[in-house]
Structure 1
């Protein structure tokens, strides 16, 4: 069998957004274009399923969509080289989020094509002899896309031109939005319930959807709709509608359903399980491990199937380039070939295709609070070490090698693999000396400590220009040989979308909201915290660390768990993975948690934290309908105004 590469497929109703898609998930015969009638064949339906997996990579790993899920939260702000794509999302006076500037268009533009493909598969699958299990995959993806859309934009169209949830084969220029309850009760919940019933326990292919991932999204949708019904901070919805369930259930019913479905999935995991250590979850050689339920896949073996260059990427299309955004320009670090005078002539940390390094873009940076408060325990809890690159090590020994000797801070000699710059876990007892001028070695504004050959920066001293990188999303290649590899290519790693661990968080959050069952919120969270206390490797020290701090982690858990603690734990577990904005808007805690933050400025050597206030308004809880959508509608100006979310 040959792999199928889908170039494009016909059929969207709202706008005729066409996307390029490919995958190496399924094995079928190549075909370049789908016509509507093609879905009336078994080959067409199977090809459509392949495209549904492929569409994930046009959303997840896309840095502009990633930016909308992170920038403006307590986890991330814009960095020194940010353009307007990133500045506006911070909501801190650097521009406004508008229908033209919001990059949530990435989600809108790629989801409706996929939804229409799902409609075609669901309508034709049984007729052409496709099993219920395969049709359930389409049901899952239709629900998945609608769930992402309804969280992001509010109510969205169920009718793409041929009737609600019907396959449309003619582009149309008019559209009407359904309400939030209609999207949940007519599309998301029925599709996911059917997917849970019909999907297998074990994936039919590597990375295929299963009962467990369907249960996760069903539980999460129940949880999210429960919050929507409750609306604790009176956040407006659109299109305007009463905060009521068409089926007559209240918020508490939905919280209980979320708990029950999540705990059922925990008890019936199929092939999925938590990894033994947090490090193993995100360690690149262990990608596609048992904890990962869904991912947007990539490959280093073929540009054709990767749908992205393996040598140089521009950041677009199917490129997985999200991690570039929070990677500062470590390549400006310099060491010296002399220990008697500072020459600054050695580029001691070169751009390399390895997990701690990769390609710098400097578009996003973590906030100081994320470093100092979210990850307050850096001794017992392995998640800070398993999230960030905090030590930038010399790679002068990597081909083409740089001959030594090489000298660094305090005129001390360093070799390949030795630290050149360290972001300290805590402020040292001896104050960091930041007084050295750049020509004496601190060319990135770092400081020195007595007896240390590495330059250092304290946790309260990070800036928009120099900050720890995001190790967990870092690149990984097996084809670099003894050299630096291809650090200018997009990442060929899968971008993780859903993890088995989140089932514990969903059940715990539902328990906090009043759901009852055999496990308390504290017991559920402590499963995750106990795992976080297990170490097998120390990234900052670059050495094995066999250590069990699970008892200390469990003991430190508050006796009473509230939603604020759930959110703190979620950030420790999923920092920088694209969860944060959705977590904060679901719980309506965005302004409370992220209304202000601290970070130093744009310049090397700037270690003075500035407190920045964001102007997060209730209408910001929905992203604007993209301007491209509005421009393509053949509707009056008044109708387009009604179509758009208020405030934009």
Structure 2
């Protein structure tokens, strides 16, 4: 078989061994390189395991990968300050995805080194006396990376230079891609099964791989492969392969396996459980909670273990800077120091708090997110637990004293609402003229309200609710604005216990035989019942004790279909990076994302435009990065054949 030179794989393994971390994750000495000889020692192999966790930060929390997961779907489009990295992904003609589009290269460029590290651990583990449980961590990560690759690009190489799934120490410049069925049946399924068998119920360290995590990914892999075999939308694959399973199973068999694995994991959770309210899932002070199965970790206590500066964000990996992208420039909001004439003052200062943080204005949620996806904002707490809809004054933390005056020249004090995104269109027309009260961001005025307002129809590429769920959380602000220019020191969540309910429900909709109490509707209603429970109101910034579970479950359709599951997944995981993969797996990307509505890039833009996307079947795979193609010693015809069709 031909081999390939992959970025980050040379004669030695170049990997980051500094684990992200809150403390007790791993305690090996950080190391930047592994020589083949060092890798044959127990210390070297254990260092390789550390590197597998550290490598997560080069993908998860990396804003351009985050963009590739969301922009172009029904969850996000490009925003006012977007460059080509974001416009390319939108599929709307503002840009075009090509083999040189950076966001599509991130998975390829950051997984093969991790795969090779995992293979080195697996090969050397027995000779250094590594336990089966530690070997299983490497098997999990190798499968995890291959699963990400095959969903993104189709078939990928299993041989990195020394044979299929072997540890490679020699640089090579040729390659052959395996087919999708080969990647699943030779790499993903065997490694995940071994991980399920050998991993502990509770992680050996906080944030470590567990049986429940492996079961989730095995269930997801079964589910995704079942869809691939069935191929209801006739989406092409590459390298070309028949939609048959080498082991002789059909799609229905895999859907049943997905259901059974997910249902078993729900019933045997180990130390994991759903949080009592949706608010608790993403509350910064409650990070690394019982619902989180895997995360790319960061910390505010040490730059070494954070992996990046605690005072300034670089705008590149391994920083966790994803949430900046959907944070609009709220710092342009102005109030007045005078009660009779407009004397502009910056009333909402940039701050390192969960509702604010560093604005980049690169991505924006379309209007239908607020009018359709999150139509129920009364019973369902997930809208309030996802978005920042009220921007409150904090000028006092910047040393500005006294009250200010806002809409209608009404007095406002620190902590009070300066600008509010309304839940619905108001009965009274909003005055967006800004002729007297100049919000500076195109917000409007309603009679009797001190806060400026924007209705759902006024959401634009310039202004929109921010993402509270991923927002900055620091405990070292010292009563001031803190370090808002630093990347987030929060973990970036990758896998959540709640997804087991969605995987099982989706498999049930696809025809899996269900267990008592675990029909698709019953599984989804576990999630919806939790969504109906409130303990805090972000919009009102106050305690709210309410249980709307009965209303939420009663509103669930009697018959669940894939569209409803996808809508629920968006409500549950909006902005977390799941969406493109969900829509590609179910082949619903075109149907659900072909058009969207949003306002323009100027403060005066209050009339939504309808935008049409041009999503073609070949777009369901991302292009192989041009840099990879250029590095290989192949003929022009072979290089063309290596690239996914449509990008050649």
TM-score bin (small chain): over 0.9
In structure 2, the residue matched to 1:512 is 509
The 5 A counterparts of 1:105-124 are 105-124=105-124
Residue of structure 2 in register with 1:125 after alignment = 125
- Per-residue CA deviation, residues 381-402 of structure 1 (Å, 9 max, x unaligned), is 000000000000001232x331
- 2:270 corresponds in structure 1 to 270
Per the alignment, residue 366 of structure 1 pairs with 365
Q: Which moved more, 1:35-44 or 1:366-375?
A: 35-44
1:571 shift after superposition: 0.2
Q: 2-side partners of 1:422 and 1:333: how far apart? A: 11
User: Who is 1:481 aligned against?
Assistant: 478
Distance 2:494 2:448 in 1: 44
Structure 2-normalised TM-score? 0.97
- Closer/same/farther in 2, CA of residues 12 and 31 from structure 1, 3 Å limit: farther
1:139-150 matches, within 5 Å, as 139-150=139-150
The CA distance in 2 between the partners of 1:218 and 1:200, in whole Å, is 16
Asked whether the 8 Å contact 2:458–2:599 carries over to 1, the reply is yes
Q: 2:457 aligns with which of 460, 463, 472?
A: 460
Q: Which moved more, 1:213-222 or 1:93-102?
A: 93-102
1:585 counterpart SS class: helix
C-alpha distance 19-598 of structure 1, shift in aligned 2 (>3 A)? farther
CA deviations on 1:528-587 (whole Å, 9 max, x unpaired) are: 000000000000000000000000000000000000000000000000000000000000
Q: CA deviation at 1:15?
A: 3.8
- Aligned partner of 1:5 in structure 2 is none
- Which secondary structure does the structure 1 equivalent of 2:456 belong to? coil
In structure 2, C-alpha distance between the alignment counterparts of 1:34 and 1:195, rounded to whole Å? 24
* Residues 311-330 of structure 1 aligned to structure 2 (within 5 Å): 311-330=311-330
Instruction: Indicate the residue corresponding to 1:47 in structure 2.
Output: 47
Note the C-alpha offset of 1:19. 4.7
- Per-residue CA shift, 1:234-254, capped at 9, x if unaligned? 000000000000000000000
Report the equivalent of 2:531: 532
- Mind listing any 5+ residue stretches in structure 2 that lack a counterpart? none
Return the offset for 1:306: 1.2
Match of residue 599 from structure 1: 598
The alpha-carbon deviation at position 612 of structure 1 amounts to 0.3
Task: Compute the RMSD of aligned alpha carbons.
Answer: 1.1
Q: Name the residue aligned to 1:31.
A: 31
Question: Counterpart in 1 of 2:414?
Answer: 416
8 Å Cα contact 1:161/1:172 also seen in 2: yes
Matched position secondary structure for 1:572: helix
| Cα distance in 2 between the residues matched to 1:536 and 1:444 | 32
1:102 touches 1:624 (CA, 8 Å); kept in 2?
A: no
Aligned to 1:138: 138
Q: Residue deviations 1:493-541, cap 9 Å, x none?
A: 0000000000000000000000012111000000000000000000000
- Cα deviation 1:228-273 (Å, max 9, x = unaligned): 0000010000000000000000000000000000000000000000
Q: Note if contact 2:76-2:363 (Cα within 8 Å) is conserved in structure 1.
A: yes
Uncovered stretches (5+) of structure 1, i.e. residues with no partner: 1-10
The yes-or-no answer on 1:14 pairing with 2:10 is no
Residue matched to 1:69: 69
- SS in structure 1 at match of 2:508: helix
| 1:443 shift after superposition | 1.4
Trace 1:224-623 onto structure 2 (pairs within 5 A): 224-344=224-344, 346-398=345-397, 400-437=398-435, 440-518=437-515, 519-623=518-622
Q: Secondary structure of 1:225's match?
A: helix
For residues 250-307 of structure 1, what are the alpha-carbon distances to aligned partners after superposition, in whole Å with 9 as ceiling and x for unaligned? 0000000000000000000000000000000001000000000000000111111211
Q: What's the offset of the Cα at 1:33?
A: 2.1
Residue in structure 1 matched with residue 155 of structure 2 by the alignment = 155
Q: Residues of 1 paired with 2:462 and 2:15: CA distance?
A: 35
User: By how many angstroms is 1:434 displaced?
Assistant: 1.2
The alpha-carbon distance between structure 1 residues 31 and 356, as it changes in their structure 2 partners (threshold 3 A), is: same
Query: How far did 1:21 drift?
Result: 4.5
TM-score (structure 1 length as normaliser): 0.97
Query: What secondary structure, in the 3-state scheme, does the structure 2 residue paired with 1:545 have?
Result: strand
Q: What SS does structure 2 have at the residue aligned with 1:86?
A: helix
In structure 2, distance between residues paired with 1:66 and 1:411: 41
Asked if the contact 2:337–2:343 (Cα under 8 Å) also holds between the matched residues in 1, the reply is: yes
SS across alignment from 2:246? coil
The answer to whether the 8 A contact 2:80-2:361 is kept is yes
C-alpha contact 2:296 2:494 (8 A) present in aligned 1: yes
| Aligned mates of 2:425, 2:188 — CA distance in 1 | 48
- Give the Cα separation in 2 of the matches to 1:405 and 1:479: 26
* Residue number in structure 1 paired with 2:87: 87
Distance apart, 1:405 and its partner CA: 2.4
1:263–1:503 CA contact under 8 A, matched in 2: yes
- Give 1:31 deviation, angstroms: 3.3
Instruction: Find the residue that maps to 1:127 and give its secondary structure.
Output: helix
Residue number in structure 2 paired with 1:3:
none
Taking the aligned partners of 1:465 and 1:180, their CA distance within structure 2 comes to 41
Contact 1:15 1:633 in 2 (8 A): no
Paired positions, count: 635
Report the Cα offset of residue 106 of structure 1.
1.1
CA distance in 1, matches of 2:350, 2:543: 25
Deviations along 1:185-214, whole A, 9 cap, x unmatched?
000000000000000000000100000000
Distance 1:386 1:364 in 2: 19
- Which residue of structure 1 aligns with residue 625 of structure 2? 626
Conserved 8 A contact 2:17-2:50: no
Please tell me whether the aligned partners of residues 505 and 519 of structure 2 are also in contact (alpha carbons under 8 angstroms): yes
The CA deviation at 1:102 is 4.3
Deviates more, 1:610-619 or 1:20-29: 20-29
Deviation at 1:442, TM superposition (A): 2.8
2:182 alignment partner in structure 1 = 182
In 1: Cα distance, 2:300 partner to 2:635 partner = 48
**In structure 2, distance between residues paired with 1:314 and 1:335:** 31
